[in-house]
Amino acid sequence: MPRQPGRQTGRQTRREMQNNKLPTTLKAHEKLYYNALLNYCRDYFNVNDNVIIQLQVRKVKNRTITKFGSINLSDDKNIVKIIDFKDFSINGRNIIHEFTHIKQKLQHEIYLEKVNKRYWIIWHGEGFISHAKYMKASKDDYYNFPWEVEAYNNMELLSDFNRSPYLNDLRGQNKTLDFLFENNVFQ
């Protein structure tokens, strides 16, 4: 059962970056926002504070984007990679989506396993699809994989985060964030 975000003590909602690793290129208001969102996700998905979560934000290099974010199942690092759309709503939803996969990975709901010289994606203890077939899956198939269904559904958590102390406790800490609050960017 996940902890209920937004119902923790002030210490928990205002905690520092702890083991959230953010890009040094982010501006101060972005660091505050993304750290708050990662802490919200940690609490919602019961991810321990001692687990290092790294955020990588990449610029859009061309107009033919095939994926907005990713994680890597095949290593021990917990890196959330997203494309920076310069929009807190899009980026926030993508972070929650990819954090869902981090939770799935950490709770061993999904992982890669080599079986007879082929890698398989294991979902809830059962071989679901070979990695080779997964990489060739159609968009329709992709959206129906159970781990993706969960991640897409969880993207709606952004509205809960926007109403939570995780975000709202940032009021008064940064002029740019205050301007964004005043102009209802976090709706």
Is it the case that residue 105 has pLDDT exceeding 60? Answer: yes
Local confidence band at 46 (pLDDT 50, 70, 90 cut-offs): very high
Half-sphere exposure of 85 (CA within 13 A, CB side): 15
> Chain-wide mean pLDDT for the chain?
89
Is it the case that residue 52 has pLDDT exceeding 60? Answer: yes
Q: How distant, in Å, are the alpha carbons of 36, 59, 112, 157, 168 from that of 180?
A: 15, 22, 41, 20, 11
Local confidence band at 30 (pLDDT 50, 70, 90 cut-offs): very high
Please state the rounded mean pLDDT for residues 35-62: 91
Task: State pLDDT tens for residues 62-82.
Answer: 665 556 788 888 888 999 999
8 Å CB contact between 5 and 44: yes
Strands (E), the chain: 20-21, 53-59, 69-70, 79-84, 110-115, 118-123, 126-130
Rounded CA separation 167/48 (Å): 20
